[in-house]
Amino acid sequence: MGICINHPDVETSYYCSKHGSYMCEECLKCKDPELYCKFRESCPIWFMTKKMKGLD
């Protein structure tokens, strides 16, 4: 578990391997979906971003 990059009082398990940062559920969104990410296939942040946009 880590600390959300935008909310230092919130612990979270969502970790962006591409940028090396944690995000809470409120902040959960791929920062730059247009750019290549070698971690994308196993990224829970990318999965949740797609699910919220109805892309799956």
What sign does the dihedral 37-39-44-45 (CA atoms) show?
Answer: negative
**pLDDT attached to residue 56:** 54
12 or 54, which is more confident:
12
Asked if 28 and 49 count as a contact pair (C-beta separation under 8 A), the reply is yes
**pLDDT attached to residue 33:** 86
| Domain residue spans of the chain | 2-53
